[in-house]
Amino acid sequence: MDNPGPVEQSAETPLRVPRHVAIIMDGNGRWAQERGLPRFSGHKAGVETVRAVVEQCVKLNIEVLTLFAFSSENWRRPPREVRLLMDLFMLTLNREVKRLKRNNVRLRIIGDHSGFSSRLQVKIREAEEMTEACTGLTLQIAANYGGRWDLTQAARKIAQLAVNGDIEPESITEEMLSSQISTAGLPDPDLFIRTGGEKRLSNFLLWQSAYAELYLTEVLWPDFNAAVFSQALRDYAGRQRRFGRTTEQIIQQQANVPGNE
């Protein structure tokens, strides 16, 4: 995917904008319970937050936004909550796809689609097809997604290539694995946000987030807004990403001094 290049600097735009932001949208249930409302009201309020965050990403020229909407493990929730979440997913796809297209947003749903009803699978395909020519933000919704599922399905595809005689085990590289996981062709997440106060990965983008910068906030997802997102982006812009190197090497690199290995 093309890099849109640096965005215009203003008081709101941080110095360095991440190419890919991944978010675990957590805390909907608690948000509702705090208000004496059913958990589902929190999920509905969470959809409003999604809309606002997508718009902010479009404005900032962020290339990829990946949102964790439903994990492989969320099937363990009470059947009624699962059913309501599936209905909300369907409703939201119906309502939002046109708006996404208008905003030049390409929608992808990553995860194991086979776990969904056939109606929902058809809707997912239609929504993806409607926006596939969009060249702005790539919005990935992770639904029935788990990092372990992702690695397992990649391993299965690679094993098939080997069985077919198309590859030798020695030719399996990190790049090849990356090319078979669900986010193939997209940059890895630079900024990994989790709302709702928990300090765990919950099986999200395990392979892809090897070097993501983490931003954990207590703010519950329905309360996540432009100000909190900007704070996360400012925090990210101030981080020094070393990828195993030393601070001195990074400083040298920034000064464009050759021979800084």
So which residues are the catalytic ones?
A: 26, 74
Max CA pair span of the chain: 61
Q: How many residues does the chain have?
A: 261
What's the rounded Cα separation, in Å, for the pair 28 and 222?
Answer: 6
Whose Cβ is closer to ligand IPE: residue 25's or residue 127's? 25
3-class SS string, 79-100: HHHHHHHHHHHHHHHHHHHHHH
CB hemisphere CA count around 127 (13 angstroms)? 26
What's the rounded Cα separation, in Å, for the pair 261 and 259?
Answer: 6
Return the residue of 22, 53, 85, 107 that touches ligand IPE, per CB under 6 A. Answer: 85
Residue 63 touches Mg ion, criterion: CB under 5 A: no
Residues facing residue 68 across a β-bridge:
24, 142
Return the residue of 20, 26, 93, 139 that touches Mg ion, per CB under 5 A. Answer: 26
The distance of closest approach from Cβ of residue 224 to ligand IPE in the complex, given in angstroms and rounded to an integer, is 11
Coil, strand or helix at 115? helix
- Among positions 174-203, residues that touch ligand IPE (CB under 6 A) are 196, 198, 200, 202
Pairing of strands 138-145, 64-71: parallel
- Among positions 196-215, residues that touch Mg ion (CB under 5 A) are none
- Among positions 51-70, residues that touch ligand IPE (CB under 6 A) are 68-70
Span near ligand IPE by CB under 6 A; candidates 18-26, 153-161, 167-175, 234-242: 18-26
Binding-site partner at residue 24 among ligand IPE, Mg ion, none, CB < 5 to 8 Å by type: ligand IPE
Structure tokens at 2: 């093309």
The distance of closest approach from Cβ of residue 232 to Mg ion in the complex, given in angstroms and rounded to an integer, is 19
The distance of closest approach from Cβ of residue 47 to Mg ion in the complex, given in angstroms and rounded to an integer, is 16
Residue 27 touches ligand IPE, criterion: CB under 6 A: yes
The DSSP-derived string for 136-196 is: SPEEEEEEEE-HHHHHHHHHHHHHHHHHTTS--GGG--HHHHHHHSTTTTSPPPSEEEE-S
The distance of closest approach from Cβ of residue 59 to ligand IPE in the complex, given in angstroms and rounded to an integer, is 24
The distance of closest approach from Cβ of residue 208 to Mg ion in the complex, given in angstroms and rounded to an integer, is 21
Binding-site partner at residue 47 among Mg ion, ligand IPE, none, CB < 5 to 8 Å by type: none
Residue 25 touches ligand IPE, criterion: CB under 6 A: yes
Number of residues counted as binding Mg ion (CB under 5 A): 1
The DSSP-derived string for 24-81 is: E---HHHHHHHTT--HHHHHHHHHHHHHHHHHHHHHTT-SEEEEEEEEGGGGGS-HHH
Residue 34 touches ligand IPE, criterion: CB under 6 A: no
**Which residues of the chain form contacts with Mg ion (CB under 5 A)?**
26
Task: Give the footprint of ligand IPE on this chain (CB under 6 A).
Answer: 24-30, 68-71, 73-74, 85, 196, 198, 200, 202
